[in-house]
Amino acid sequence: MAGAVSLVGAGPGDPELWTLRALRRVEAADLVLYDALVDVDALRRVTKAQCFSVGKRARRDSVPQATINRLMIRAAKQGKRVVRLKGGDPFVFGRGAEEALALAQAGIPCEVVPGVSSAIAAAELAGIPVTHRGVASAFLVLAGHTMEAVDATLGAVQPHSMSIVFMMGVGTRGELASALMTHGWRPATPAAILCAASRPEAWTWTGLLSEVRSAVPPPGLAGVLIVGDVVSIRHALEVADAGRTDANNEVRSYGRNR
């Protein structure tokens, strides 16, 4: 008896941003192995499957990747429908490709269900477009915790030629800001730190690149750092929307600073 595994993207956190296919796979699952950023209450409301946390968080104990691979393979060989539920998109800094390769080598059928990546969703929910005509025609996404790779990449990028999004960069925000300025980015470049995007505890900071190091995000919240002139669009949207209300008679806030 052979089951199958679905590598499913759960988006930035809010379960309303799950895709329809993601919801169907979770509903039909026998086993769900979920990441740390997944809304556990929402997960348990939509499935009767066994659900186990295998999430990884910086500087905390976590389940080794090899163990996760073995759990998926063993359950699938027992005929179970397995969902590996991952924050954001499975293939954007999510080790999804590593898991897909392990499953393929074990002869396990594998499906990838794309999710909304926090690389763009966090910015959008805060009123920041990663591209904007006349401001930025491209954006670059980097893992913020690998400083050697960051430094090498920034050395190949013309300053202010695009928006820069650092995933997993909140803890190294000071070092990242220094690296950017070393490579020619102006200290007055707009910047934003966006934590827990789409969730009730969402926190947003905006300021200048030179001020990033002094920003103090709430402890324990994962987030992204965005640098570029597109960050200024957020303020323009808030000014335009000041005093207006949406269909629910609530003022749009674009993730106001907490």
> Mind telling me the catalytic residues?
35, 56, 168
- Closest by Cα among 139, 129, 131, 97 to 114: 97
Strand order in the sheet with 50-53: 50-53, 31-34, 81-86, 4-9, 110-113
Burial class of 4 by CB neighbour count within 10 A (0 to 12, 13 to 18, 19+): middle
Alpha-carbon distance 125 to 206, whole Å? 14
How big is the CA angle at 139 (ends 136 and 144), to the nearest 5 degrees?
135
Alpha-carbon distance 114 to 228, whole Å? 27
Dihedral sign from CA coordinates of 122, 128, 129, 135:
negative
- Token pair of 227, please? 């640098």
Residue 152 CA neighbour count, 13 Å, CB half: 5
